[in-house]
Chain A
Amino acid sequence: MLQFQLWKKLLVVAVILSGIIYSLPNLVGGNAASFLPGQKINLGLDLQGGSHLLLRVDVDAVQQERLETIAETVRQEFRGAKIRFSGLNLRDDAVTLRLRDAADAVQAKTIFDDLGQNFSTTVDDNIYRIAFNDAGIVDMQTKTIQQSIEIIRRRLDPDGTKEPVIQRQGLDRVLVQLPGVDDPEAVKRLLGRTAKLTFQLVDTRMTAAEAIDRGRTPPGTVLLQSASGDGRSYVVEKRVMVSGEMLDSASAGIDQNNRPAVNFALNTVGARKFGKVTGDNIGRPFAIILDGQVVSAPVIQSQIFGNGQITGDFTVAETNELSLILRAGALPAPLIVMEERSIGPGLGADSVAAGEIAAVIALLLVAIYMVLSYGLFGALADIALVANIVLIIAALSALQATLTLPGIAGIVLTMGMAVDANVLIFERIREEIARGRFVLAAIDGGYKRAISTILDSNLTTLFAALFLYIFGSGPIKGFAVTLAIGIVTSLFTAVMVTRLLIILWAERKRPSKIIL
């Protein structure tokens, strides 16, 4: 009457055993677990502490920069080819210009074609319009994002030990998940500047005050602010003599007055250029410019090759950060923080502890209540409930799914709902007995009749979990995963495990009646 084929029994035992094996690393801890096949559960940032940052890469800035270069290239090429033009300017994401003489069109076209396949040129009544084409935009976006990810990684994880998640999201976004962060403000400072370092000569023909008075600077120069916030400005030549790409290394140090400074060394190309510029311009101030602001502008005392020092109003922490950023290289575009969620390690540990207590108490409450309601069968359901928790932990470990704080709530909630299947079965058995059936027939009938209800009700809850997973983010996704895993494992334990236990019990005792 009570059939439970051997293979089903073996399946139950095998699943439970592998569940125990895969959940063990979470109990053993440390390196002792190395002989076990599984891994520990992957805790979410809200439980282990860390920073989650959603960054937008300002691709528009890169596009603008590229078009400025294009405009400059076209100007120089046209001058070289003696093509006359007018109205060269940059607006609405395109460079436009007008050919004075339509006869130059053929020559102009070869220049436009040489700009590369990322750009397309349209012409309308002698007015030419150069812009990124669709493929060019995609190519520029992709390259910019890839490069940004690389630089972000070098800045946040210079030693390659922190295992940050840095990945592209959507068109122009980068998701950063950095575990174990004590000071999230420092993370944002590291990402907050593009760190374009340049060395440019200061133009001494005109003082900054004169330039401000006249409202213009000499041709080929630009007025730049001081980085220290003292309100000073400098008239600086536009021409970049040496730039950050030529850096070989940078490290925090001190200057001759014992103030914090950043020491740098240039690579061979940079050192040669630096030596030539300093040799030719002794006595002139040489501006060190970071992200468009003048950090300092020391007067060149003698010819300098490879090594130099950046001094300014720095603290030790600032020189450490600045040298790290310079070593990592400049970002191709500014990063804008769209979303931040940072959890300190203390709160994470507290959450884990609170979650564990809540889980244990929920388990005890439900278990006691089940025994009070169904006696022996309730105790069997409790065993299945414990098996269920072991399987959830095993599944989370094996899948390396991320356990979040809402995920713990999901597990606790599953405990309350997991017994539902057993309640349905036991209530059915009660009814069968009330109809005057014998024990074994009642048990068998109870399971058979409850199963379709159990499937229907669990599948509908699974739908809710599925959509939570698809549309949820971060911790909510974690909740959806544990809820879904909990539904599947509770189906297995409530239906298969209790059934096996009840059959084993019935085979031994051969009960003539059961009390439910």
Chain B
Amino acid sequence: MRLKLVPSDTSINFLKHRRIAFIFSLFLVASSIGLFVVKGLNLGIDFKGGILIEARNTTGPADISGLRADLGQLGLGDISLQEFGTPTDVLVRVQRQEGDEEAQIAAIAAISSTLGDSYDIRRTEFVGPTVGAELAEKGMLAVACALLAIMVYIWFRFEWQFSIAAILALAHDVLSTVGLFALTSFEFNLATVAAILTIAGYSINDTVVVFDRVRENLRRYKSYEIEDIINKSLNETLSRTVMTSFTTLLALLAITIFGGAVLRDFALAMIWGVLIGTYSSVFVAVGFLSRFDIRHQEPDDGVDVPETERS
């Protein structure tokens, strides 16, 4: 007996629900943009500049309120403290200091001496304002270039309609991930950009598998309605889509639970990405595709695959 999350033969009419999916996705993207504009992202020091220090109390649980009072007296402005991973560990975030880089370095020295001997400083990160702006610029450039390259590749391998549908689905995934970060106030840092690009890679992977099947079925069932072909393709690949999403989620779950505090946010972002990427491949990408008249655009390359095919 085999474990099957999805039965082998499904005939779900996905496109029937495309109006609901479209409204849902529109709402998701619109509210993401709204949250991004109104609430903004909780930018980490990678982009905003500032200081981050992770310290462990070697004598017992970290006295966060005591530390907050001590560090508050340094006059370094906005300081946030939080427990990190275990009760002995504390994460100190300090806003960018007035003045040049030397002021930041002096602030780090002041914090580490205030923490004293009972705290073991495990990590110090400092990003100056110039570097922060550069990293933000590079991050945006990376996402934009990756999306563009993926679009061109799909265009090259499929037809322009596929490419447009894929990029719309990708934009949907990226924007809603940004929206999630705005909503939850999770820290948005370099690792988040990496997560977003990996989400884009994962989501396009899913979309390409479905598109591949659509293209194949377009050639095979010349007399079918486009909607039927798309539905058939989605059903044929559904088992695989769910299967792969599930194994990826298993791996991500292992990172979230056992991978340590540093990787947790990254893994959580990826889990969201796998869910939204799977949804968008099934509903958003093909939803757009079904609006295009792809049949007449499909060139007859002479390699018709008849129903009783090659082996």
Contacts and interface: CB of A to CB of B under 8 A. Distances in A.
Contacts, number: 244
B150 A358 contact: no
Contacts of B255: 358, 362, 409, 412-413
B251 A365 contact: yes
Interface in A38-58: 54, 56
B246 to A, nearest CB: 7
A407 to B, nearest CB: 10
A347 B54 contact: yes
A339 interface: yes
Given A192-B105, A467-B142, A471-B142, A369 B190 contact: no
Contacts of B237: 427
Contacts of B260: 350-351, 354-355, 358, 405
A473 interface: yes
A471 B193 CA distance: 11
A358 B205 contact: no
Contacts of A419: 244, 247
B191 interface: yes
Nearest to B100: A336
B20 interface: no
A460 B194 contact: no
Contacts of B145: 467, 470-471
A269 B294 CA distance: 86
A340 B125 contact: yes
Nearest to B239: A427
Interface in B139-170: 139, 141-143, 145-146, 149-150, 153-154, 157
Interface of B, secondary structure class, is helix
B102 interface: yes
Interface string B173-209: 0000000000000000011011001101110111011
A346 B56 CA distance: 10
Given A461-B201, A476-B191, A344 B122 contact: yes
B252 A468 contact: no
Contacts of B248: 413, 416-417, 420
Contacts of A460: 150, 153-154, 201, 204-205, 208
A128 B149 CA distance: 54
A375 interface: yes
A476 B193 contact: yes
B250 A444 contact: no
A458 interface: yes
Nearest to B260: A354
A516 interface: yes
B199 to A, nearest CB: 9
Interface stretch (B2-10, B23-31, B62-70, B73-81): B2-10
A256 interface: no
B299 to A, nearest CB: 17
Interface residues of A, number: 81
Chain B interface residue count: which class? 35 or more
A187 B126 CA distance: 14
A366 B250 CA distance: 7
Contact of A431 (B142, B202, B236): B236
Nearest to B274: A416
Nearest to A434: B8
Interface in A425-440: 427, 430-431, 434, 437
Contacts of A365: 250-251, 253-254
A349 to B, nearest CB: 10
B201 A472 contact: no
A73 B144 CA distance: 53
Interface string B229-262: 0000000110110011011111111110111101
Nearest to A351: B260
Nearest to A478: B194
A344 B142 contact: no
Interface string A342-386: 111011001100110111011001100110111100000000000
Contact of B270 (A336, A413, A457, A480): A413
A424 interface: yes
Interface in A319-337: 336-337
A179 interface: no
Contact of B2 (A358, A372, A470, A476): A372
A463 B105 contact: no
Given A346-B56, A424-B240, A430-B8, A406 B201 contact: no
A423 interface: yes
B83 interface: no
A260 to B, nearest CB: 20
A291 interface: no
Contacts of A445: 311
Contacts of B194: 406, 468, 472, 476, 479-480
A452 interface: yes
A282 interface: no
A392 interface: no
B135 interface: yes
Given A344-B120, A373-B2, A361 B263 contact: no
Interface in A459-490: 459-461, 463-468, 470-473, 475-476, 479-480, 483
Nearest to A418: B247
B124 interface: yes
A185 interface: yes
A335 to B, nearest CB: 10
B122 A441 contact: no
A162 to B, nearest CB: 19
A420 B4 CA distance: 15
Contacts of B250: 362, 365-366, 369, 416
Interface of A: 54, 56, 184-185, 188, 192, 336-344, 346-347, 350-351, 354-355, 357-359, 361-362, 365-366, 369-370, 372-375, 405-406, 408-409, 412-413, 415-417, 419-420, 423-424, 427, 430-431, 434, 437, 441, 444-445, 448, 452-453, 456-461, 463-468, 470-473, 475-476, 479-480, 483, 515-516
17 contacts: A357-B258, A412-B259, A416-B250, A430-B8, A430-B239, A434-B8, A434-B9, A444-B311, A453-B212, A453-B213, A457-B212, A460-B201, A464-B200, A468-B142, A470-B145, A472-B193, A515-B2
